[in-house]
Amino acid sequence: MRHIKIFDTTLRDGEQSPGVALSVPQKLEIAHALARMNVDVIEAGFPITSQGDFDCVHRIAKEVRGPVITGLARTSKGDIERAAQALDIADKWRIHTFTSASKVHLEFMLKKTPEQVLEITDNMVRYARTFCDDVEFSAQDVMRADFEFVIQVFNAAINAGATTINIPDTTGYGTPLEYGALIKRIQLEVVRGRDVAISTHCHDDLGMAVANSLAAVENGATQIECTINGIGERAGNTSLEEVVMALATRGDYYQAQTQLNTKEIYRLSRMVSRHSGMVVQPNKAIVGDNAFAHEAGIHQDGVLKNKSTYEIMSAEMVGREAAVLVMGKHSGRAAFKKALEDLGYDLSGSVPDHGLTEESVNALFVRFKELADRKGAIGAEELRALVETRDSSVPETFKLESIQVLSGTHVIPTATVTLETPEGPQQHASSGDGPVDAAFKAINALTKVHPTLESYRIEAVTEGGEALGEVSLRARVNDVVYSGNGLATDIVEASARAWLEVVNSAIAQVGVKKEAVTAI
């Protein structure tokens, strides 16, 4: 079995999804979860693009242990230096430098001749090697490029010291047979037995990113670049869960495997969906709501008799089904902790800022009791939603104490909100277009932060009228978009909790406390 490296670019290419902006705490939480899943490489960002991106890559490089941490850099000295400064604190790090291969990119974007691109590639890969022994080189848009030039540019990169060559189908133009054949050609004519890894980076414009990546593996690639839930530019990237599970389920065919702990997949998918605000479609392979659901009577009958009649892999393999029994208001702390462990959460405290620490378990237990008191039984999915919607790393400058709403056909919707603030409990009543709007206005008045709502989504965590409501929203404060999530039996309360997460994230981001909140 060949080892296929998984290079996760959720935090770089994934964040390039239209409308997605992840905060530093969210990126750190995702990076720690990726390390726990045992990916080989994490692309943490593009350090030259902003001070914020630089700082975030630097923090991930400093804190996250296990995977190689990399950052993107154009083939320019400034980009490479900035990437090296952000990364060199990591245990293991890589510079990922890139140019373009297609005529249209060279003519309109780079405004360079092929000869100039070859010379810059040679100079800049050599320059990157002066900082670090692990250098990856990419040339965008290979599938629309002249393949003779593609061969030349990757040859130049290897001669200059690149240790991984990444072959991006930037525009998702290639078909599996074509892309696979190009990888084979690169293997035979460029790598020629040298100790250089071939990597794939496929976009999904024609829905072929996963198929193309697997075709590359069949033809000699040993690294797949991908993102959780397949998020990324335009139609997105190769979806990590799909390629990983294809290799896990069809290892017999590919004769290749990854080192991932696949049981972490579902949790990461939920985390990325929550933080990015990008909903996973119900019929999405592996992580969609319906991926392991059986509707037709004949299918249900088969699965009840033997799951393998209609299932080629088990839900447990991707961490979807836990042996958690329904918990209720009489369940104690020990049972609660055991249920969290059964769901796959790490309670060891080994990831101090991002795992479930003693303190966060205590806070979750209090919320669990509140919910169980109001709702009765709490199932596995609801428990998971409770953990996933916790505000893991954003300091709670303002905390919801209570909310009361008045609404109906012939009344002006009004919300009375009490918050725990740095000055003690404070209350405010506001009216609005509806009870949710009124609650947001009352919170704005108390916190003096005025986010602009960009998107709002409400979902029942489970089926049935007694389900908990989960609100996911995105709102803008000072040109930065934050996401917030709230879970409650009452949908106005869930909305208020999500709104407060946005407010607290905005306060944490600009590093201010109460006195400066008015500045936001």
Q: Which is nearer to ligand KIV, 166 or 219 (CB)?
A: 166
Which of 99, 138, 392, 430 is in the footprint of ligand KIV by CB under 6 A? Answer: 138
Q: How far is the C-alpha of 309 from the C-alpha of 74, rounded, in Å?
A: 50
Burial class (CB in 10 A: 0-12, 13-18, 19+), 358: exposed
List the single partner that 98 binds among ligand KIV, Zn ion, none, CB under 5 to 8 Å by kind: ligand KIV
Which runs of E-coded beta strand occur in 283-369? Answer: none
Please name which of 491, 498, 459 lies closest in space to residue 475, comparing C-alpha atoms. 498
Residue 75 binds to ligand KIV (criterion: CB under 6 A):
no
Q: Which is nearer to ligand KIV, 9 or 447 (CB)?
A: 9
Q: How far is the C-alpha of 405 from the C-alpha of 436, rounded, in Å?
A: 9
List the single partner that 140 binds among Zn ion, ligand KIV, none, CB under 5 to 8 Å by kind: ligand KIV
Structure-block tokens of residue 65: 């242990």
Q: How far is the C-alpha of 428 from the C-alpha of 78, rounded, in Å?
A: 51
Which of 140, 227, 269, 495 is in the footprint of ligand KIV by CB under 6 A? Answer: 140
What DSSP assignment string belongs to 65-82? -SSEEEEEEESSHHHHHH
Longest dimension (CA), the chain: 78
- Report in angstroms how near the CB of residue 141 gets to ligand KIV at its nearest: 7
Collapsing DSSP to helix, strand or coil, 486 comes out as strand
- Report in angstroms how near the CB of residue 12 gets to Zn ion at its nearest: 8
Pick out residues in 202-261 that bind ligand KIV (CB under 6 A): 203
Q: Which is nearer to ligand KIV, 98 or 440 (CB)?
A: 98
Residue 269 binds to ligand KIV (criterion: CB under 6 A):
no
What DSSP assignment string belongs to 192-249? TT-S-EEEEEEB-TTS-HHHHHHHHHHTT--EEEEBGGG--STT-B-BHHHHHHHHHH
For the stretch 6-28, what's the b/e string if a residue is b when 16 or more beta carbons lie within 10 angstroms of its beta carbon? bbbbbbbbbbbbeebbbbbbbbb
Site string for Zn ion, 11-40 (x = CB under 5 A): --x---------------------------
- Report in angstroms how near the CB of residue 166 gets to ligand KIV at its nearest: 6
Residue 98 binds to ligand KIV (criterion: CB under 6 A):
yes
Q: Among 162-170, 359-367, 372-380, 428-436, which window interacts with ligand KIV (CB under 6 A)? A: 162-170
Pick out residues in 10-49 that bind ligand KIV (CB under 6 A): 13
How many residues sit close enough to Zn ion to count as binding (CB under 5 A)? 1
Q: How far is the C-alpha of 277 from the C-alpha of 472, rounded, in Å?
A: 7
Residue 201 binds to ligand KIV (criterion: CB under 6 A):
yes
Q: Which is nearer to ligand KIV, 231 or 443 (CB)?
A: 231
List the single partner that 180 binds among ligand KIV, Zn ion, none, CB under 5 to 8 Å by kind: none
Q: Which residues contact 55 (CB under 8 A, 6 or more apart)?
A: 24
- Report in angstroms how near the CB of residue 294 gets to ligand KIV at its nearest: 37
Q: Which is nearer to ligand KIV, 221 or 361 (CB)?
A: 221
Q: How far is the C-alpha of 56 from the C-alpha of 76, rounded, in Å?
A: 21
Q: Which is nearer to ligand KIV, 30 or 403 (CB)?
A: 30
Which of 45, 168, 174, 451 is in the footprint of ligand KIV by CB under 6 A? Answer: 168
List the single partner that 266 binds among ligand KIV, Zn ion, none, CB under 5 to 8 Å by kind: none
Please write down the HEC assignment for all residues of 435-477: HHHHHHHHHHHHHCCCCEEEEEEEEECCCCCCCCEEEEEEEEE
Contact residues: ligand KIV, CB under 6 A: 13, 98, 138, 140, 166, 168, 170, 201, 203
Contact residues: Zn ion, CB under 5 A: 13
